[in-house]
Amino acid sequence: MERCLRKDNAAWEQVVQRFRRRVFHIAYKFTGKHDEAEDLSQEVFLKVFRSLDKFHRDADFATWLSSVARNYCIDHYRARKREREVLVEDVLAFDLAISPSGNPYRALEDQDRRSLLRVGLEQLPDKLREAVVLRDLRGLSYQEMAVRLSLPEGTVKSRINRGREELSRLLRRAQQPRRQQRVAPRVRR
């Protein structure tokens, strides 16, 4: 540990190798997704490396590391939840070209459509939902999205397309029972 506290990279690599599984399992409990848990694990180790000076030498490093990992994952989870809520609020505020005709049936249909869209967006994976909302609801260009998400433009376009396709599939599935309920069975005479 002393070598790590002096920012010795070789010693730090040994620490990462030794505790990689522990941190991964903590992250996986929060995400339930292998890729996200890997990303979170990397972020946790980066945070720990940057805050090694806060580690008390008389404390148990494994316990301290686990605590930092748990707290980081909790903060990440809360931030993602807030982000999801903001994206859903955007949908609620989004106007689906409601005609100001004053027709109450039209207003109900529009409200139903917005509700379906909100539910569909909530079911999308975070990365796809973010792409669809930023492009289709907030109107960002591909370039703006690439900068904001720190991704290549091709990846941004791919996520938008995959998000739209998945959203379309979710909306069709959500409407299926409704259509079946609305169609009255034919009675033969």
**Would you kindly state where each structural domain of the chain is located, as residue ranges?**
2-80, 94-182
- According to the model, what pLDDT value does residue 104 have? 67
Tokens for 106, please give them. Answer: 């039209």
At 32 the pLDDT is 83
CA distance from start to end of the chain: 87
Residue 22's pLDDT is: 95
pLDDT of residue 168: 87
CA distances from 165 to 46, 126, 137, 141, 143 (A): 36, 15, 16, 19, 21
CB 120 within 8 A of CB 174: yes
Amino acid 159: pLDDT:
92
Torsional class of 7: left (φ above 0), alpha (ψ -120 to 50), beta (otherwise):
left
Task: Report the topology of domain 94-182.
Answer: Arc Repressor Mutant, subunit A (1.10.10)
Environment class of 184 (CB within 10 Å of its CB; exposed 0-12, middle 13-18, buried 19+): exposed
Stated pTM of the model: 0.47
Q: Does domain 2-80 have CATH number 1.10.1740.10?
A: yes
Q: Give me the tens of pLDDT residue by residue for the chain, a chain 189 residues long.
A: 777 777 778 888 998 999 999 999 999 998 888 888 899 999 999 998 888 888 887 888 899 899 999 998 888 877 776 666 556 555 555 544 444 556 666 766 767 777 788 888 888 888 898 888 888 888 889 998 888 888 888 999 999 999 999 988 888 887 776 555 455 555 554
Q: Are 159 and 125 in contact (CB under 8 A)?
A: no
CA pair distance 30, 116, nearest whole angstrom: 28
On whether the CB atoms of residues 174 and 189 are closer than 8 A, the answer is no
